[in-house]
């Protein structure tokens, strides 16, 4: 699979070019367009329990879509729900991805869910991570601009969990509160952060999806049936 990113950095679209008979996986609903003849199949990868685990805990859809190129080859365009950038990452082993960050990947990449730390008191952040394993390419999408932080050995970096996109498995991390006590947390508006220790890379996003949801919840009027 060869991936080309266009319309970056604000409204990125990933075009996945496939050879004859080659397959790829994508988040349910991520497909924007395909070339003629591309086969499409939606299924629960890994069975019901693994699909439910990835959906409920990892923030991804219960169903995953598999695309297969016809004999002449083809392409699939994938786009995220929120405006922002996307990046292609070569995976040779494993990669940890934040909730909702996985967009699509090579057919050889397997997805599971792992515990990533406490959820933010404001909701929507932290919690479980999507754990991608195998050898191939993974496309991750972000809300806003995407930045990569390269950490040296024992170098530390603190990030609000809502701004996390992905990080290498070699990077050690802990989750802690920004301030001491519930009252201080509520006053500051901050909840939990993740402290990373290198070596390795950490990918971040300039906007926080959880903060967007919180803002929309307070601004939009309640609908009553």
Residue pointed to by tokens 């319309």: 7
Instruction: Look at the domain 2-219 and name its fold.
Output: Double-stranded beta-helix (3.60.160)
Residue 158 has pLDDT above 80, yes or no: yes
Using one digit for the tens of pLDDT, what is the confidence trace for 1-21?
A: 999 999 999 999 999 999 999
> Pick the residue with more confidence: 64 or 181?
64
For all residues of the chain together, what is the average pLDDT?
A: 84
d(CA 65, CA 19): 18
Q: How large is the average pLDDT for residues 76-89?
A: 96
Strand 156-160 to strand 102-106: parallel, antiparallel, or no bridges (unpaired)? unpaired
Rg, Å, the chain Cα set: 18
Kindly report which listed range (18-27, 64-73, 77-86, 175-184) carries the lowest average pLDDT score.
175-184
pLDDT surpassing 60 at residue 29: yes
The pLDDT of residue 180: 60
pLDDT at 91: 96
Position 44 scores a pLDDT of: 62
Stretch 41-48: mean pLDDT: 64
Q: Does the pLDDT of residue 95 top 90, yes or no?
A: yes
Tell me the Ramachandran region of residue 54: left when phi exceeds 0, alpha when psi lies from -120 to 50, beta otherwise: alpha
Q: Domain limits of the chain?
A: 2-219
pLDDT at 119: 44
Q: Is the pLDDT of residue 121 over 50?
A: no
List Cβ neighbours of 107 (8 Å cut-off, separation of 6 or more): 22, 23, 24, 25, 66, 136
- Give the pLDDT band of residue 195 (cuts 50, 70, 90): very high
């Amino acid at each position: 699979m060869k991936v080309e990113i266009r319309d970056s950095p604000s409204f990125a679209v990933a075009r996945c070019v496939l050879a004859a008979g080659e397959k790829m996986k994508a988040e349910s609903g991520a497909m924007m367009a395909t070339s003629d003849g591309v086969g499409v199949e939606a299924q629960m990868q890994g069975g019901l329990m693994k699909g439910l685990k990835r959906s409920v805990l990892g923030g991804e859809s219960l169903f995953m879509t598999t695309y297969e190129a016809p004999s002449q080859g083809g392409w699939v365009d994938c786009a995220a729900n929120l405006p922002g950038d996307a990046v292609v990452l070569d995976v040779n082993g494993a990669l940890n991805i934040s909730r909702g960050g996985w967009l699509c990947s090579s057919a050889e990449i397997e997805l599971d869910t792992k515990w990533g730390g406490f959820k933010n008191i404001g909701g929507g952040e932290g919690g479980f991570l999507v754990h991608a394993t195998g050898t191939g390419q993974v496309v991750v999408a972000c809300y806003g601009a995407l930045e990569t932080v390269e950490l040296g050995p024992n170098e530390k970096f603190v990030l609000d969990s809502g701004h996390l996109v992905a990080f290498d498995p070699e990077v050690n991390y802990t989750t802690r509160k920004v301030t001491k006590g519930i009252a201080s947390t509520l006053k500051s508006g901050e909840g939990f952060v993740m402290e990373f220790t290198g070596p390795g890379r950490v990918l971040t996003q300039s906007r926080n999806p959880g903060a967007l949801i919180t803002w929309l919840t307070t601004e939009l009027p309640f609908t009553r049936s």
